[in-house]
Amino acid sequence: MASPLLRLSRKGLRSLLGPNLVSFLCGICLRNRRRRRGFFLRSGEVGLQGPEEDHSLGQWLPKIAVDAYVAPNVVLAGQVTVYDGASVWNGSVLRGDLNKITVGFCSNVQERCVLHAAWTSPTGLPAETLIERYVTVGAGSLLRSCSVEPECIIGQRSILMEGSLVETNAILEAGTVVPPGAASLRRALGGESGEVREEADSRGDPGDPKLAVAINDLMQSHFSEFLPYSTVYLEVEKLKKALGIPSE
């Protein structure tokens, strides 16, 4: 019984709308999807250089620059912005449900990192998680309501707590813990208390941006494996087939 009713409903829909109107509506769907990408930022989309799970929270929707790379199994939620040339690698979670998370130009968040933000910061500064340009965040790191200035290297499995600040050209050894409200100057740090291991040159380490640029170059080979456009056209083709409308 269900099958005849289904066929009848399809015939009724075709006669009511007509193939031209259905094609017109499908075209609007495609144009709106492209428009959401915008000139500079696009919403995360399933099946291309976007996250596997992309959650809007209220009015907030993650935004990804058109030439940024976000691995297919990354989770973005809420107020997350990934800028040009940046990359977020496999298994990472960026959860901007309480505050903003920003990944700056040519920065990279490597595998299995967790970025979150609190409502407030103990320092009184904005509680957003800010990663500025040419920053490398090592695999397995946890960042929460912290600020990382340009050209820094965050070693793998590091933890940056609320209100912490990593200043320009800083290098954090693997496993470094920067406690709430603490600031790391232009120096190499290491250990659970973030003690100073070695003073860095006052001019900074010229190799810091080079690492981020090298990862950006590597990103391009991954980026090229995905479609440069949305897969929404597949849903349109399914709709046309279900309604008996021939493809153009």
* CATH code of the domain containing 164: 2.160.10.10
The residue range of the domain holding 73 is 41-229
Give the chain's domain count.
1
Whether residue 245 is contained in a domain is answered as: no
Instruction: Report residue 179 as tokens.
Output: 């406690």
The reply to whether 13 falls in a domain is: no
pLDDT tens string 42-67 = 444 433 445 555 666 777 889 999 88
Residues 6 or more apart whose CB falls under 8 angstroms from that of 112 comprise: 90, 91, 92, 139, 140
DSSP per position, 18-48 = -HHHHHHHHHHHHHHHHHHH-SSEEE--TTS
CA distance 126 to 119: 9
Instruction: Determine, yes or no, domain membership for 147.
Output: yes
Question: Taking the model in full, what pTM does it have?
Answer: 0.68
Token digits for 4? 């005849």
The letter for the amino acid at 134 is: Y
Residue 121 reports pLDDT greater than 50? yes
Q: Give me the pLDDT at residue 243, please.
A: 86
Q: Is residue 94 part of a domain?
A: yes
Q: Are 86 and 212 in contact (CB under 8 A)?
A: no
The strand pairing partners of 171, in sequence order, are: 153, 188
pLDDT at 75: 92
How do 69-70 and 87-88 pair as beta strands? Answer: parallel
Q: What is the reported pLDDT for 8?
A: 41
Please tell me the predicted confidence (pLDDT) of residue 48: 41
Instruction: Output the pLDDT for position 95.
Output: 94
User: Under 8 Å CB-to-CB from 245, ≥6 apart: which residues?
Assistant: 14, 19, 22, 23
SS3 222: helix
d(CA 177, CA 154): 10
CB atoms < 10 A from the CB of 207, how many? 12
Asked if residue 62 is part of any domain, the answer here is yes
Asked whether residue 119 is assigned to any structural domain, the reply reads: yes
Answer whether residue 131 is part of any domain. Answer: yes
pLDDT band at 136 (very low <50, low <70, confident <90, very high): very high
Q: In the predicted model, is pLDDT for residue 4 greater than 80?
A: no
Both structure tokens of 181: 């409200």
Task: Report yes or no on 25 lying in a domain.
Answer: no
| pLDDT 10s digits, 166-199 | 999 999 999 999 999 887 666 666 666 556 565 5
